[in-house]
Amino acid sequence: MGERGLQIAEELAEGKKRNSKMERLRKLWKLIAEKGLDALLISPPENLRYLAGFTGSSGWLLISGQSAILVTDFRYVEQAKGESPGFEIIQVKQELHDWLPRLICDLGWRKLGFESNFVSYESHHKVSEAIKAKQINLELVPTAGIVEQLRSVKEPEELILITKAVELADAALEQAKAIIRPGVTEKEVAWEIEKDLRQKGSEGVPFEIIVASGPNSALPHARPTDKTICSGEPVVIDMGARINGYCSDLSRTLFLGGANKTFQEIYNIVLKAQATAIEGTKSKMLASQADQLARTVIQQAGYGDAFGHGLGHGVGLAVHESPRLGLSSSDSLVDGMVFTIEPGIYLAGQGGVRIEDMVVLENGKARVLTKATK
Ligand code: ZN
């Protein structure tokens, strides 16, 4: 392709990206308006990246029917201009309660939504005080999960990136199997996995890798220790990759030289629970019903109390996002959602088994993205 052709291709790709951002903003505005709000204040980095393409670690978005404003500080202004074309970029020096009332006093908003999970009590208090002091007629309305609801349904371009991240994790697990043997420590295995993920192109690791052997594997979120891995004991490996911001999440339980009777039994129960959940999870189902599918298998086998966490969680720009698959979840599952299915059984003092795959809901049912063997 000639230089001119290349430029056109780049412009087209840029235009496509911008269109998808416009589409996201349109959908978001609809949700904001439905709640009777004039605008929404947004702060989590994943939400900023999703809506504005901004990858800085600190900034705010103000989205209304007429405006898309990205507020950030000196460190990120140039970056914001490059990453978020079409947004009004405003550079601030001070804290939220200093700039927000000043910025919005001319905009005529009466109801401003904020993400109650992400604005601290102190920030909220200071902003409220500043609004009162300036005698601005503005109500701060707590909201939760508006952008997260949009993010939970993936676009085809997002699914491509997630699939790449899944493939990286699958490959890193194969590599781990090749080096893991009795006598190596959990930390050594974790480091080998991390090196391999990064060598293959992962942007860091989205969460600290878990390599938990023997009794440590009974802790669902164990940290790798200096413990050496022995034959016959369960080794839970939980890790993921990140590509262009999008994460993957994968867990497997290995046994060096075969498992004893108890763990053979437990492994098979967890495997059956997972297969049952994958098979039975359908679009339009409640996330709690999907959880129940796996839980029933484990309960019937007599290990109900040993499955102490939810069945899974959405994965995207964040490694834990909507939907949440658990008994107390009120989320509903719809096509386009990407999430984990990861039942486990944990016996304190002995060890645990967790098997985790990522799936996407397509045509009403779950398609497994993970290819790692079990
Ligand atoms: Zn997970």
d(CA 374, CA 372): 7
Torsion of CA 55, 22, 26, 282, to 10 degrees: -70
CATH number for 224: 3.90.230.10
Q: Is residue 311 part of a domain?
A: yes
**Alpha carbon 282 to its chain's center:** 21
Q: Do both 191 and 74 map to the same domain?
A: no
Residues with Cβ within 8 Å of 217's Cβ and at least 6 positions away in sequence, in order, are: 233, 234, 235, 236, 253, 346, 351, 352, 353
Q: Is residue 373 part of a domain?
A: no
Q: Is residue 321 part of a domain?
A: yes
Which of 100, 132, 150 is the C-terminal boundary of a domain?
A: 150
Element (H, E) at 323: strand 321-325
Q: What is the pLDDT of residues 85-135, one digit of tens each?
A: 999 999 999 899 999 999 988 888 999 999 999 999 999 999 999 999 999
What are the residues facing 40 on neighbouring strands? 63, 113
Q: Do both 312 and 195 map to the same domain?
A: yes
Helices then strands, each counted (H, E), the chain: 10, 18
How much distance in Å is there from the Cα of 348 to the middle of ligand 1? 20
| Intervals of the chain under pLDDT 50 | 1
d(CA 278, CA 366): 6
Q: Do both 140 and 182 map to the same domain?
A: no
How much distance in Å is there from the Cα of 106 to the middle of ligand 1? 45
Which of 150, 181, 197 is the C-terminal boundary of a domain?
A: 150
H helix runs in the chain, sequence order: 3-34, 45-52, 77-83, 96-104, 121-133, 146-152, 156-179, 186-199, 261-280, 287-300
pLDDT at position 359:
98
For 216, 235, 251, 309, 355, the CA distances from 260, given in Å and listed in that order, are 17, 13, 20, 25, 18
CATH number for 22: 3.40.350.10
How much distance in Å is there from the Cα of 309 to the middle of ligand 1? 10
Q: Do both 196 and 101 map to the same domain?
A: no
Q: Do both 267 and 146 map to the same domain?
A: no
Q: Do both 265 and 358 map to the same domain?
A: yes
Give the 3-state secondary structure of residue 254.
Answer: strand
pLDDT at position 105:
83
How much distance in Å is there from the Cα of 259 to the middle of ligand 1? 24
pLDDT at position 5:
62
pLDDT at position 6:
60
Q: Do both 67 and 184 map to the same domain?
A: no
How much distance in Å is there from the Cα of 32 to the middle of ligand 1? 30
SS3 readout for 1-15: CCHHHHHHHHHHHHH
Q: How many domains does the chain have?
A: 2
Q: Is residue 374 part of a domain?
A: no
How much distance in Å is there from the Cα of 238 to the middle of ligand 1? 8
Q: Is residue 350 part of a domain?
A: yes
How much distance in Å is there from the Cα of 137 to the middle of ligand 1? 44
Q: What is the DSSP string of 72-94?
A: E-GGGHHHHHHH-TTSEEEE--S
Q: Do both 115 and 224 map to the same domain?
A: no
Q: Do both 143 and 258 map to the same domain?
A: no
pLDDT at position 19:
77
Q: How many residues does the chain have?
A: 374
How much distance in Å is there from the Cα of 320 to the middle of ligand 1? 7
How much distance in Å is there from the Cα of 250 to the middle of ligand 1? 7
Q: At residue 6, what is the residue type? A: L
Q: Do both 60 and 202 map to the same domain?
A: no
Q: Is residue 363 part of a domain?
A: yes
What are the residues facing 107 on neighbouring strands? none
Cα–Cα nearest to 347, from 300, 312, 316, 307 = 307
Give the 3-state secondary structure of residue 206.
Answer: coil
Which of 110, 125, 150 is the C-terminal boundary of a domain?
A: 150
Q: Do both 119 and 189 map to the same domain?
A: no
**Do residues 284 and 331 make contact, with C-beta atoms less than 8 angstroms apart?**
no
Domain that holds residue 48: 3-150
Q: Is residue 59 part of a domain?
A: yes
Q: Do both 247 and 363 map to the same domain?
A: yes
How much distance in Å is there from the Cα of 356 to the middle of ligand 1? 7
How much distance in Å is there from the Cα of 311 to the middle of ligand 1? 9
Q: What is the pLDDT of residues 240-289, one digit of tens each?
A: 999 999 999 999 999 998 888 999 999 999 999 999 999 999 999 999 99
Residue 229 dihedral angles phi and psi, to the nearest 5°: -85, 130
Q: Computed over its alpha carbons, how large is the radius of gyration of the chain?
A: 23
pLDDT at position 21:
85
**Do residues 316 and 338 make contact, with C-beta atoms less than 8 angstroms apart?**
yes
Cα–Cα nearest to 209, from 185, 241, 233 = 241
**Do residues 273 and 374 make contact, with C-beta atoms less than 8 angstroms apart?**
no
